Amino acid sequence: MYSFVFVSHGDLGESLVRTAASIMKEDFTGRYEIFSIDYSMLAEMDHIKDLLEKAVARFTRGGYRVVIFVDIFGGSPSNVSFALVKREDIDVIAGANLPMVVYAFEHRNDEVPLAQMVEGILQAGRENLVSAKKLLEKKGGKPHD
């Protein structure tokens, strides 16, 4: 089983959770296995790190593997989160998008290795990065300018 932590600038993480829940027609409010930390430029990094470490510890004690979603590789949320990937039951995914989150939530109870779950999440994200013009050109159509 998996738990998910979102660490993002502003309320992006919470927005991704809320929107995925709406699409899936599920209520994740107060669900134990999902936690979001909204990073603000005014926030103390030690406070963010403490919140993250406590959430991860709570989830791993409960037997969950943890996937941490961050918005931008190299940003403060990812820098704090990446320190935790040394652990076997934790990974961090940077560049979170809605298809990734929906996939993760749909597969949260799968008993698959962490690497397989992460690859599925990444694949869902990649498959939904599309240029409409390029897609149309591949199908033999011409984009209108």
Per-residue pLDDT of the chain (145 residues; tens, 9 = 90+): 999 999 999 899 999 999 999 999 998 776 668 889 888 766 788 888 999 999 999 999 999 999 999 999 999 899 999 999 999 999 999 999 999 999 999 999 999 999 999 999 999 999 999 998 888 888 876 666 5
Q: Which domain holds residue 47?
A: 2-138
Please return the burial class of 46, using the count of CB atoms within 10 Å of its CB with bins 0-12, 13-18 and 19+.
Answer: exposed
Give pLDDT, residue 38. Answer: 86
Residue 145 lies in a domain: no
Residue 20 lies in a domain: yes
pTM score:
0.90
- How many domains does the chain divide into? 1
Residue 74 lies in a domain: yes
Can you give the CATH number for the domain in which 56 is found?
3.40.50.510
Give pLDDT, residue 144. Answer: 61
Give pLDDT, residue 23. Answer: 95
Residue 108 lies in a domain: yes
**Torsion angle defined by CA atoms of residues 87, 93, 94 and 97, in that order, rounded to the nearest 10 degrees:** -160
Give pLDDT, residue 33. Answer: 82
Give pLDDT, residue 32. Answer: 62
Give pLDDT, residue 95. Answer: 96
